[in-house]
Amino acid sequence: MAKLFFETYGCQMNIAEADSLIVKSTQRGHEIVECAEEADIIIINTCSVRLTAESHVIGRLGYYRALNRERLDRDLRVILMGCMSENIGLEVKTQFSDIVSILWGTYHKDLFLDYIEDLEVKQESLGFGAAYSFMPATPSKEYPFKAYLPVSHGCNKHCSYCIVPHVRGLEKNRNFEEILDNAKQLVDEGVKEICLLGQTIDTYKDGDKRLPDLLEMIATKSGIERLTFLTAHPREFLYETIELMNTYSNIMPFLHLPYQSGSSRILEKMKRGYTIEDYLEKVENIRKIRPDIVLSTDIIVGFPTETEQEFEETLNILKTVHYNEAFLYRYNTRPNTPAANYEGQVPEEEKLRRLGILVKAHRKIIAELLKNQVGATTTALFDRESKYSHKVFEETGKKQYLGRTLNNLVCTVESESDLRGQILEVELYESFHSVLKASLINKDKSHDAKITNISLSS
């Protein structure tokens, strides 16, 4: 049996798969170590959505090569897994043939364990099989009271900038009842919050069952205390999912709805399938159904041929819609995508300038949004101590814990007792940078406290 160290990059799907692989590895008798230097085998679960993710893995492989040369007692070996393997894995394996033993793609990741006893076989498993098998989701390794539950894999959208269909294949949907069984198992293991995952989760379909059916079934039959989902696509978005948030209090009023660009011309070049007018109409209707909903988004700046005016349109949408979270990126040329061959590539320094403007604007938006939340009462699931907890303890004798409110805002509470893994009622009394300071509501009164939320759209 081997000592394994898992290193994971990229999306929530990768994190979910890594958590499942860790459980399967221990079931096979392998030991999971917390430090790479203690391992016999490193499993790197890679991302290829942006060049920076691939470059980071190349740097890690260089480090592991040097570490292996320093070892006297045993060899260190690496299993390179995931999207980067599908994209440039053969090239990377040639470059690091002394350290990379197994190259594994995005399908049937758990089957690499069949070869781990004999790394000399130099196994490769790339490309997409006839059928994709979903691994059972497991509690998060880092936060065992949370779990990501994949319900679909791959994507049919073929956005011109996106490498996902090339490295993960076309969309595959998981069996409806199997998802419920997995959700029930997670609850039995102590999970309090489940996030359903799909590259374009709105298109989930199993027979006549769709995403709203899935949400309602898990909300009512699994016993889960909190339920949310990622990632919604503006073209495929289903209003029923927001209406369910009003029906079932355990479906979190939070939605990740990427708009990518504020220019309809750029959106057409991106092959997103909607105009910015379509997007804004959906946001308006969403907030009519659930005024207190928290929205987050993805934005790409510097897409080929993007003008200064079109960038200003993107900035204006950010300021108009008021997102609590925005994942901001400069356009990265990705191989095997149509946009890689587009004319009118924007200079790198200009991309960085535009990105900097967005980041600065979004910080101001967050500050204003959080001020509007002061005075509200809600619930929060506390998952960890803050990095300032030791300083707070020195001053007050209490530790500081970070949690997420019902609508996914970050809050902090000072407490003498350990709050991790608990869902508690809190009052939000002050905004501070990107978090809300909160106090626990007296437990004797908490069961009668009415949870209130303040609209974030103002």
Q: Tell me the per-residue pLDDT of 234-274, one tens digit each, with 9 for 90 and over.
A: 999 999 999 999 999 999 999 999 999 999 999 999 999 99
* Phi-psi category of residue 261: left, alpha or beta, with phi > 0 → left and psi -120 to 50 → alpha: beta
Specify the pairing of strand 325-330 against strand 294-301: parallel
The CATH number of domain 3-125, selected from 3.40.50.12160, 2.60.320.10, 3.30.70.20, 3.30.930.10: 3.40.50.12160
CATH architecture of 146-366: Alpha-Beta Horseshoe (3.80)
The pLDDT value given to residue 121: 66
CATH architecture of 377-446: Beta Barrel (2.40)
Q: What is the pTM of this model?
A: 0.92
Q: Which band of pLDDT confidence, cut at 50, 70 and 90, is reported for residue 434?
A: confident
Average pLDDT of every residue of the chain: 93
CA–CA distance, 385 with 162 (Å, rounded to integer): 36
Which letter does DSSP use for residue 443 in this model?
Answer: H
Residues 6+ apart with CB under 8 A from 1: 28, 29, 30, 31
Domain ranges of the chain: 3-125, 146-366, 377-446
Cβ atoms of 299 and 318 within 8 Å: the answer is yes
Residues 6+ apart with CB under 8 A from 227: 193, 194, 195, 196, 215, 218, 219, 248, 250, 251, 252
CA–CA distance, 120 with 123 (Å, rounded to integer): 8
Partners of 6 in beta bridges: 43
Of 130-134, 323-327, 392-396, least confident by mean pLDDT is 130-134
pLDDT over 60 (residue 145): yes
Cβ atoms of 67 and 89 within 8 Å: the answer is no
pLDDT over 70 (residue 448): no
User: For the residues 200-207, what does the mean pLDDT come to?
Assistant: 97
